[in-house]
Amino acid sequence: MRSTAFAAVLLWWANPEAIAGEIQQASVDFVRGTYTVEIDGLVSAVSSEVYRLVTDHDQLYLLNNIVLESRLLTRPGDPVQMRRVVLHVCILFFCRNMKLVESLQDNGSEELIATVVPAASDFKTGRTVWRVTPAGTAQSHFQMQSTFRPGFWVPPVIGPLLIRKKMEHELSVMMTRLEQYAGTVHGH
C-alpha cells in the first residue's frame, strides 16, 4: 500500500498534469476524410470559472502548451465573434503548425460553438461544441464534440486511435490547467 502511494506521489512530482481531471469517455471516428471526436470529463473546479477560462480567447495558451497563439479577432460586443488559434501538434513523427480561424457562438454560461472559417484556416471544415455544466459542489462536467476535415495531408499511419490518444492527453493537460487556474484572474 505504501509503495503504491509513493509511486503516485512520484508520478505526480515527475508530471503533475498526469493526475488531475478525469476523462470519462473518449471516442474518435474517421469516415471519408473527416474526424469526429467526442470527449466527456470531470474537472474539479466551479463550472462558471471553467467556462470563463475556456472562453478567454486571448489566453488559451495558458491551458495547453500546444497553443502557440490565441486571440480574439473582433471586439467584445461585435455581433459576430471571431478568433484565431495556432496549434503545434506532434503525433509520432508528424509535426505541424495548424491555423484555425473560427466563428464563435457563445451562450454566455455553458456552451461555446466554434465553426471553422475554411478560407482562413488549415481545415476544410470544422465545428466544435464545448459544454461546461455543474457536476456537484466545485466540480464541472466538461464535454467537447468536434468534427473536422484537415486541409492538409495526414499520414495514413496516424489513424483514429493515435488521434484519440493525443486528444485525450491534450485535454487531460487542459483539464489540469483549468483546475489550476480556476478562481484566478489573469491580465491581458
Q: Strands 22-31 and 123-134: what pairing?
A: unpaired
Q: Which residues contact 93 (CB under 8 A, 6 or more apart)?
A: none
Which pLDDT score, from 0 to 100, does residue 154 have? 85
Dump strand ranges (E) for 12-122.
22-31, 34-43, 67-72, 81-91, 94-106, 111-116
The CATH number that applies at residue 62 is: 3.30.530.20
| 11 located within any domain | no
| 166 located within any domain | yes
Q: Which residues form the domain of 61?
A: 25-181
Which pLDDT score, from 0 to 100, does residue 70 have? 96
Residues of the chain with pLDDT under 70: 1-20, 185-188
- 47-60 confidence digits (pLDDT tens): 999 999 999 999 99
Predicted TM-score (pTM) of this structure: 0.81
The tally of domains found in the chain comes to 1
- 3-24 confidence digits (pLDDT tens): 333 333 333 333 443 345 788 9
